[in-house]
Chains A and B, each alone.
Chain A
Amino acid sequence: MFPTPQRLGGYLWKIPYKMSQLQKARQRKRLRAVDNVIATVGAALNAKNISLRKLDYLTSAAFPKESEMPAKDKYWIFSKYGRNYRKGAHRQPKFTKISNRTVPPGF
């Protein structure tokens, strides 16, 4: 029986360094879903004239909308060890359930 690439003992990365086209499409869909939640909650609070610090942060430049983000930030996040200080957004644990939209200034 031919051994699998993993069994051969090679240096095999099982998580690709970049996201596939379909992963990126689903990533955009999730970003938009979060944008919708923020917009809906924001509209409700505005109608009732309630202010909320968390909402201010989520509507500020520190938390851009999917449509305002460059592709570089949608699919790549800051990493101090990564090439060009970036690593694929799918490399972070639970990446489908967290928001990580901006990188430190200067990167």
Chain B
Amino acid sequence: MNMWFRVTQKRSVIGLPKRLRETALALGLKKRGRITYHPVNRENAGQILTLKELVEVQIVDKPLERHQETLLKRRPSGYTVEKPANSQ
């Protein structure tokens, strides 16, 4: 079974020790709200636990692309197009 960590950076690394900042960078976390995916293994788990005060973690089956994440966040438009206007 495929398992991925979905890591969301919740807290900034400003003012924190270099080791923590570099660990965050290693996980691809550059600023708050950034979401990255990592396969479940010892190395990634250890890095996430190093940043346990700064991140939120979920377990997912497969990673999403960044533009797919953006689409998930987007507010629903409030309407659906049943058919195009020029479909006669």
Contact = CB atoms under 8 A, between A and B. Distances in A.
Interface of A: 30, 33-34, 36-38, 40-41, 43-45, 47-48, 50, 52, 54-55, 58, 94, 96-99
Interface of B: 1, 3, 5, 10-11, 15-16, 40-42, 45-46, 48-50, 52-59
A97 B53 contact: yes
Contacts of B16: 94, 97
Contacts of A34: 52-53
Contacts of B54: 97
B57 A40 contact: yes
A27 to B, nearest CB: 12
Nearest to A40: B57
B40 A45 contact: yes
A54 B49 contact: yes
A62 to B, nearest CB: 14
Given A37-B57, A97-B53, A99-B52, 19 more contacts: A33-B56, A36-B57, A37-B55, A41-B5, A41-B45, A41-B49, A41-B57, A43-B59, A44-B59, A45-B42, A47-B3, A47-B40, A48-B41, A50-B42, A52-B46, A54-B46, A94-B15, A94-B16, A96-B11
